[in-house]
Structure 1
Amino acid sequence: MEDIRVLIYEDNRSLREALCFMLESTEGFLVAGAYEDCTGILRQVREHGPDVLLMDIDMPHLSGIEAIKLVKPKFPQVNILMLTVFDDDERVFEAIKAGATGYLLKKAPPGRILEALTEIYEGGAPMSPAIARKVILNLHTTPAHVEEIARLTARELEILQLLSEGKSMKMIADSCFIAVHTVRTHVKRIYEKLQVHSVTEALAKFHKR
């Protein structure tokens, strides 16, 4: 697998440098760039061609959420992982609606951040457990028809339940005693059966069943 190119936006210098060191010293990751604010984000994304943006919310000049709204229309293929201290409903849902693909709290251990970057690169939507719970309890979407949920196998329902608890794909694989690629295959089938395109949408339908 090619290195995952990560572009970092974090105004705390010590944390920014720590994130750079962590990624540069881990095989499979490449720091495409690191900035203290988002004022030049469109030019920087164009120049660096990142796979994932690792972004804080509260930054000077332009917030992370405002930056997402600039990036997603022009670079829809770029995934965005929020890494922030904020876990209030307003910011969580504003970030997700703007186009964030994942949402972690800064208290997450380094290993979880690396795992989340890999998940998001491979099509997942990593979230801290507390954030995943908020999404399930508060995200308003059209409920799925009963027959949609009925199409899911017992294993698929089990995986959806584990996703709703904030488990990563690796954790689900360990819990179910199956390979990670098998988990991804199940998730793909869940998407097809529920007619959704993301983990967030699937969990919303699962919760509203």
Structure 2
Amino acid sequence: MIGIVVADDHPIVRSGLTALLGSIDGLTVLAAVADGRAAVREAVTQRPDVLVMDIQMPGLDGIEATRQIAAAAPGVAVLMLTMYEDDDSVFSAMRAGARGYLLKGSEQTEIVRAIQSVAAGEAIFGPGIARRVLGFFAAPPAATEPFPELTGRERDVLGLIAAGRPNAEIARRLGISPKTVANHISSIFAKLQVADRSEAIVRARQAGLGAPDSAP
């Protein structure tokens, strides 16, 4: 029997996925949670075979939750099931330790097959994702970017912070909401283990990001 935890902040998706997986012989849903912190907690306490994880969730996103699970409960296979198909999301999930990556909208049989595969120790990716992953590993190595633990968007935010831009201006420049900027900043502080904006600016400038007035 494959034990599963579902983590998704959308109630309809969470309940639908729980019902689907619970109806399949050989699968059992141990818990269904709505945020990354709860996902980490359930991974550590329940020790499921597979944790099906969304990326964008409140409090702690799926990427950081996956990283924490890989450290605290390495036997738990994380399968990302998300609407995000950009390279930044895919490769951030891989670096964090995800064993599989599917897009929402995948056929139910594909989701079940992916769960069975990652539980057996395999890596599994949706067709379009798999092509990009193969292309990534076939490409020559790129120059190392500062703060590899950050996503590309988080590096953009950090660079603008280091250039002295306020949150409202960062939101306008990046085309995102101020709340999303605040969420990115909280994640940056946690990943860099800094206490405040000033300390983040010092770290960023030491790495060559965001000299004052360098952002257009």
Q: What's the TM-score once normalised by structure 1's chain length?
A: 0.64
Residue of structure 2 equivalent to 1:71: 69
Identity percentage of aligned residues: 38
Q: Following superposition, which runs of at least 4 residues in structure 1 exceed 6 angstroms of deviation?
A: 140-143
Unaligned runs of 5+ in 1: 144-209
Cα distance change of structure 1 residues 141 and 121 upon mapping to structure 2, 3 Å threshold: farther
Q: Equivalent of 2:11, from 10, 13, 23? A: 13
Residue of structure 1 equivalent to 2:20: 22
Residue of structure 1 equivalent to 2:109: 111
How far did residue 44 of structure 1 move?
1.7
| Distance in 2 separating the partners of 1:19 and 1:100 | 19
| Distance in 2 separating the partners of 1:71 and 1:54 | 12
How far did residue 73 of structure 1 move?
0.9
Residue of structure 1 equivalent to 2:99: 101
Q: What's the TM-score once normalised by structure 2's chain length?
A: 0.62
For the residue of structure 1 that corresponds to 2:41, the secondary structure is: helix
Bigger Rg, structure 1 or 2 = 2
How far did residue 139 of structure 1 move?
2.9
How far did residue 48 of structure 1 move?
1.4
* Residue 122 of structure 1 pairs with residue 126 of structure 2: no
Superposed CA RMSD in Å reads 1.6
* Residue 86 of structure 1 pairs with residue 84 of structure 2: yes
For the residue of structure 2 that corresponds to 1:39, the secondary structure is: helix
| Distance in 2 separating the partners of 1:37 and 1:21 | 19
| Distance in 2 separating the partners of 1:35 and 1:98 | 20
Unaligned runs of 5+ in 2: 142-216
The one-character-per-residue Cα deviations of 1:141-198 (angstroms, maximum 9, x if unpaired) are: 889xxxxxxxxxxxxxxxxxxxxxxxxxxxxxxxxxxxxxxxxxxxxxxxxxxxxxxx
| Distance in 1 separating the partners of 2:62 and 2:40 | 13
